[in-house]
Chain A
Amino acid sequence: MKNLKIILILSMLIGSFISCDNDDTPTPIVEEEVITTMTITLSPVGGGSDVIMQTRDTDGDGPNPPVVTDPVNLTANTTYNGSIELLNELETPAVNITEEVEEEDEEHQFFFVSTNSIATFSYSDMDGNGNPIGLSFTLTTGAAGTGTVTVTLIHEPMKSASGVSSGDITNAGGEEDIAQTFNVVVQ
């Protein structure tokens, strides 16, 4: 029977398709794109002990909130040399994201903002185009007081837009990779 033949051929075809499935167990993925930890080391110019500002979120985009240094204690009327280290601690050993930012420095910029005029900031580094990055910067405190310092890392900012290279985030565009606010006590 011709029909029977066709049905037979069809079912054989189907069988050969179904039988080539793999039953492998999936490989776990350790998130690559995440920055879990930002550590800012502030060294007072003229000596003194370093101040650490850190935010650390060990489950990345998971439900646990980041652990943040609170408060950050700074000395009044002091200039600090700041440097930033970024890590992905989901990996063991941790992956240093700072290097990736340095490699693509034209596509990254940190922005620093304080409230209650407790501090001012200036950039100490620049990318190939002479625009700031912010991996190293200076922080200068004013008189004693309390307020916040917010550190924002923008990926693909428009560095040539008005005010951006002098540290104004308003026209930067791009997307935020980090936006962390620290409570700061200046005394």
Chain B
Amino acid sequence: MKHYLLIVVLWFFNLAHTQNCTYTFIGEVKDFHDGTPMSGATVYIETLNSYTTTDINGKFSVKNICNGKLILVISHIGCETQRLDVDINGDTFRVIDMEHHIEELHEVKVSGVAPKKLTKTAQETQLNTKTLERFSALNLGDALREISGVSSINTGNSIVKPIINGLHSSRISVITNGVLLQDQEWGIEHAPNVDLNSAGSINVIKGANALAYSGDAIGGVVILKPLGISLKDSLYGKTILTGQTNGRGYNVTTSITKTWKGGWFASGQASKKGFGDFEAPDYLLTNTGLNTRAFNLSAGYKTFEKGFSFNYSHLKNEIGILRSAHIGSINDLVNAINNSDPILIEDFSYDINSPRQNVTHQILKAEYYKRFKRFGRFEIQYDYQYNQRFEYDVRRSDDNKPAIDLNLRTHSIRTGLKLDSNLKTVYNFGIHLRYQNNFANPETGIRRLIPDYDRYDVGVFAISNLKWGENTDLDFGLRYDFNRIDAQKFYLTSRWLERDYSNDFNNIIIGSVFGREIQYGVIDFDAQQLLTNPVYNFNNFSASAGISHKINKAQTLIFNYGLSQRSPNPSELFSDGLHHSAARIELGDLRIKQETSNRFGATYQLNLEQLDLNIEGFLNNIKDFIQLVPFSTEQTIRGAFPVWNYEQTNAFLFGIDFGATYKINEQWNLSNKSSFIKGRDTKAKTALIDIPSFRTNNILEYNNKKWLDFNASLESEWVFRQNDFPNFNFETLNPTTQQMVLVDISTPPPAYNLLHFRSDVTVPLSEKTNLNIGLTVFNIMDTSYREYLNRLRYFADDLGRNFMLQIKFNY
């Protein structure tokens, strides 16, 4: 390990008194973690304008100084600058603990400029602040698409859920500011409730190799971190204003942070977003407006050795859903698919009518950590999440009465212990406890899609990071999770019998329902509904292992393996109802067990002067993979409805994610990002549904520092047609014509190629403030297209051209 310069700045507080300035200060610089002396550091004494260095024992001395106060500022390129006061009273000796774990320093740095990975042997990518700021007016899912191998599954353009290597929803964990997001994430039309503007960086870890965060993230983990806090007196912030033509709206976000050198800090951030109807190239997308309000407050005390913080965040999203996507019957769906334009197109409006969603997510968090010398770091965190989801359908009587009113409350406690006194072997232990309550408000007058339930989770993990020689890192992790779901669910008696539950599950019936009256202890199949109390206990094991080896300065190889188990979520067990935009009845299954994934990953990285290359491959074999597939058709007064139910099969996914940047010269860059993935149902020997098609992005970038740091780039986004899809098409009788018609719900839309342009300049206003002005044009050619992974693709085209002007003010 190389040691860099240590700078010690010396201040004399005493005035030119007639003092005896003959004292000596001796300092001993040691590593905080293992106590080893840090030799070869240079000490600069400002008043004397002289240098000295620490010797082989980490010691240095300053001679002929007076009594008084000494302020030392020690810095190290690999270490955080350390500032400390020393009282000189005669000859003085002091041990100075230095931190030289680069990975630990992120939290005390003003901004993480260099990409900082959270793991060494996982397939991990980081998006930095600058990249995230470009997406200020958009969604988390939009920003994550910057990463090769990450795409999104959309409901329109405002509900964007990330897909990592073909997996999404409950198979992905989102961690925001240390809190594992619990926001009804199972549903495809439930986008993660985070304000992208609150994140300073986002790390995406593919696969279940981040056991410290969660054990069941078979697809991967998305970690949003706020900007770090510096340990000095300062006040800084930024404001970003974005206006865009498509949707005729704006986004404004502003943040301010005050830090004190003692370690205290307070920060606040707020965003507001407002859009009207978005536009496809040929028509307006009626009722696709969007309103978002978010704010975030933090305060606390942070030093290297200990700290605590309190955080509160509030996010409110009101999202309009394309009016034409609300349909009543399979006939309406056939009409929508066969019509090239949406059925209802109205004039532009900022109004958000039904169908719409109104979701509020609040997080309250308290955190405490302490580092112990020559031992490690202990942390404990408590968080409370309150998620309130309203969904409004087009109703006969009252559109302002929600069709879904779910209230999800989650309490979590996380403790972690990191033993890092020996840099070569670091151990991490942790216990996670969680209690969750879901309440479905009966006032909706519509049968609950998700029942009331209590959920209890306990997770225990142990992870070790070993350094094997100079160039090899090894990781091993084990995790055990216990999940208990205790639900109270009403079944239509006819549904109970149709599902054949009467053979296996009559013991969970606790009452029969006649009208609105529950008769407890009675099992009567003539009752309209049955009240049941399903209780599930799941024991899940996860393991991960990884090796990263630097072949030479330029090349690195990573291999990893992850075993993970995921319990079925409440929607997979209990879903029960008509899905309006899909015109289908979706049913959970009480018999569903957990799924088990075995994933192998391999990465090759090449970093040359002119060329950066990153190739990631994976194989993921998922036993008892839970999926929603067509099952039968049921007749109702509105005609026939297809019934889709959750089933378990075996799945095999594999793919390659490719990223390369070639530096042509100082100004020009050429880069490519591509991802290829296949997903197979190995039992049915068909393709899996909703697997992203091959896509490749080519970007030509120009940068000139002399012209106000001018950047411009032209990007071609080429998405191929998904030719490997399961054919779930069926025929239905058109009651008007009395003829059978094909319901083509499976055929993917054609390939498309979009061009995007981006440019920005930075104008320095003063030493600490600057103004950045950016212009972005999405879909320059105004190309009409539909994306296979947009659930509204049956109803309307995707977004047309969009000019976006962004003004960013840093202060």
User: A residues touching B (Cβ–Cβ < 8 Å)?
Assistant: 3, 6-7, 10, 13-14, 17-18, 21, 25-33, 35-36, 38, 55, 57, 59-66, 90-92, 97, 100-101, 104, 107, 111, 113, 115, 148, 150, 152, 155-156, 158, 169, 173-181
Contact B490 A26 (CB under 8 A): yes
Contact A28 B518 (CB under 8 A): yes
Residue-wise, chain B 364-406 has the 8 Å CB interface mask toward A (1 for contact) of 0010101000000000101010000000001111000000000
Contact A64 B396 (CB under 8 A): no
Which of the listed residues A13, A28, A152, A156 has the most CB atoms from chain B within 10 Å of its own CB? A28
* Chain A contacts for B447, CB-based, 8 A: 29, 31
* Chain A contacts for B495, CB-based, 8 A: 59, 62-63
Q: Given that A28-B531, A29-B444, A176-B331 are contacting pairs, would A100 and B396 also be in contact in the complex, using a CB cutoff of 8 Å?
A: yes
A27–B529 Cα distance when bound, in Å, is: 12
A18–B308 Cα distance when bound, in Å, is: 22
A38–B531 Cα distance when bound, in Å, is: 29
* Chain B contacts for A25, CB-based, 8 A: 488, 518, 531
A97–B395 Cα distance when bound, in Å, is: 13
Contact B637 A178 (CB under 8 A): yes
* Chain A contacts for B77, CB-based, 8 A: none
* Chain B contacts for A14, CB-based, 8 A: 382, 411, 413
A66–B331 Cα distance when bound, in Å, is: 18
Closest beta carbon of chain A to B370's beta carbon, Å: 6
Q: Given that A59-B492, A60-B636 are contacting pairs, would A29 and B448 also be in contact in the complex, using a CB cutoff of 8 Å?
A: yes
Contact of A26 among B368, B382, B452, B494 (CB under 8 A): B452
* Chain B contacts for A55, CB-based, 8 A: 637
Contact of B577 among A10, A13, A61, A179 (CB under 8 A): A61
* Chain B contacts for A33, CB-based, 8 A: 395-397, 445-446
Could you list 11 A-B pairs, sorted by A, with CB under 8 Å? A25-B488, A26-B451, A27-B442, A27-B516, A30-B445, A31-B445, A33-B395, A63-B492, A104-B396, A158-B344, A178-B637
Contact of B332 among A32, A113, A176 (CB under 8 A): A176
Contact of A63 among B395, B634, B733 (CB under 8 A): B634
Contact A66 B488 (CB under 8 A): no
* Chain A contacts for B308, CB-based, 8 A: 6
Closest beta carbon of chain B to A31's beta carbon, Å: 6
Q: Given that A26-B440, A27-B516 are contacting pairs, would A65 and B634 also be in contact in the complex, using a CB cutoff of 8 Å?
A: yes
Contact B445 A57 (CB under 8 A): no
Q: Given that A29-B442, A31-B445 are contacting pairs, would A17 and B411 also be in contact in the complex, using a CB cutoff of 8 Å?
A: yes
Contact of A176 among B306, B329, B411 (CB under 8 A): B329
Q: Is B528 an interface residue (CB 8 A)?
A: yes
* Chain A contacts for B448, CB-based, 8 A: 26, 29
Contact B494 A10 (CB under 8 A): no
A186–B394 Cα distance when bound, in Å, is: 39
Closest beta carbon of chain B to A171's beta carbon, Å: 9
Contact B329 A179 (CB under 8 A): yes
A98–B499 Cα distance when bound, in Å, is: 33
Q: Given that A26-B442, A175-B328 are contacting pairs, would A7 and B492 also be in contact in the complex, using a CB cutoff of 8 Å?
A: no
Contact B638 A176 (CB under 8 A): yes
Q: Given that A3-B370, A13-B366, A30-B516 are contacting pairs, would A38 and B637 also be in contact in the complex, using a CB cutoff of 8 Å?
A: yes
Q: Given that A26-B451, A90-B528, A176-B328 are contacting pairs, would A155 and B735 also be in contact in the complex, using a CB cutoff of 8 Å?
A: no
Contact A36 B637 (CB under 8 A): yes
Q: Given that A7-B380, A28-B529, A57-B636 are contacting pairs, would A179 and B394 also be in contact in the complex, using a CB cutoff of 8 Å?
A: no
Closest beta carbon of chain A to B409's beta carbon, Å: 8
Count B-side interface residues using an 8 Å CB cutoff. Answer: 64
Residue-wise, chain B 319-333 has the 8 Å CB interface mask toward A (1 for contact) of 000000011110110
Contact B411 A178 (CB under 8 A): no
A150-B738, A180-B735 given; name 9 further pairs at CB < 8 Å.
Answer: A25-B518, A28-B518, A28-B529, A36-B637, A59-B492, A61-B578, A66-B635, A100-B397, A115-B738
Contact A177 B435 (CB under 8 A): no
A92–B528 Cα distance when bound, in Å, is: 12
Residue-wise, chain B 482-518 has the 8 Å CB interface mask toward A (1 for contact) of 0000001010111100100000000000000101111
Q: Is B98 an interface residue (CB 8 A)?
A: no
Residue-wise, chain B 227-269 has the 8 Å CB interface mask toward A (1 for contact) of 0000000000000000000000000000000000000000000
A152–B96 Cα distance when bound, in Å, is: 83
Q: Given that A7-B368, A31-B445, A32-B445 are contacting pairs, would A175 and B394 also be in contact in the complex, using a CB cutoff of 8 Å?
A: yes
* Chain A contacts for B452, CB-based, 8 A: 26
Q: Is B684 an interface residue (CB 8 A)?
A: no
A60–B637 Cα distance when bound, in Å, is: 8
* Chain B contacts for A64, CB-based, 8 A: 494
Nearest B residue (CB) for A168: B736
Contact B638 A179 (CB under 8 A): yes
* Chain B contacts for A27, CB-based, 8 A: 442, 516
Contact A148 B490 (CB under 8 A): no
Q: Is B178 an interface residue (CB 8 A)?
A: no
Which of the listed residues A7, A32, A104 has the most CB atoms from chain B within 10 Å of its own CB? A32
Closest beta carbon of chain A to B331's beta carbon, Å: 6
Contact A177 B494 (CB under 8 A): no
A32–B327 Cα distance when bound, in Å, is: 18
Q: Is B726 an interface residue (CB 8 A)?
A: no
* Chain A contacts for B212, CB-based, 8 A: none
A64–B499 Cα distance when bound, in Å, is: 12
A180–B733 Cα distance when bound, in Å, is: 11
* Chain B contacts for A6, CB-based, 8 A: 308, 368
A101–B637 Cα distance when bound, in Å, is: 16
Contact A175 B637 (CB under 8 A): no
Contact A175 B529 (CB under 8 A): no
Q: Is B343 an interface residue (CB 8 A)?
A: yes
Contact B585 A61 (CB under 8 A): yes
Q: Is B437 an interface residue (CB 8 A)?
A: yes
Closest beta carbon of chain B to A81's beta carbon, Å: 23
Closest beta carbon of chain A to B133's beta carbon, Å: 34
* Chain A contacts for B370, CB-based, 8 A: 3
Contact A18 B435 (CB under 8 A): yes
A21–B250 Cα distance when bound, in Å, is: 40
Nearest B residue (CB) for A3: B370
Nearest B residue (CB) for A91: B515
Contact B327 A175 (CB under 8 A): yes
Q: Is B274 an interface residue (CB 8 A)?
A: no
A113–B738 Cα distance when bound, in Å, is: 10
* Chain B contacts for A175, CB-based, 8 A: 326-329, 332, 394
Q: Which 4 A-B pairs give the minimum distances between C-beta atoms?
A: A175-B328, A32-B445, A65-B635, A176-B329
Q: Given that A10-B368, A175-B329 are contacting pairs, would A62 and B494 also be in contact in the complex, using a CB cutoff of 8 Å?
A: yes
Contact A57 B736 (CB under 8 A): no
Nearest B residue (CB) for A156: B394
Q: Is B90 an interface residue (CB 8 A)?
A: no
Closest beta carbon of chain A to B244's beta carbon, Å: 30
A61–B370 Cα distance when bound, in Å, is: 57
* Chain B contacts for A26, CB-based, 8 A: 440, 442, 448, 451-452, 488, 490, 531
A174–B327 Cα distance when bound, in Å, is: 7
* Chain B contacts for A150, CB-based, 8 A: 735-736, 738
Which of the listed residues A13, A26, A31, A174 has the most CB atoms from chain B within 10 Å of its own CB? A26
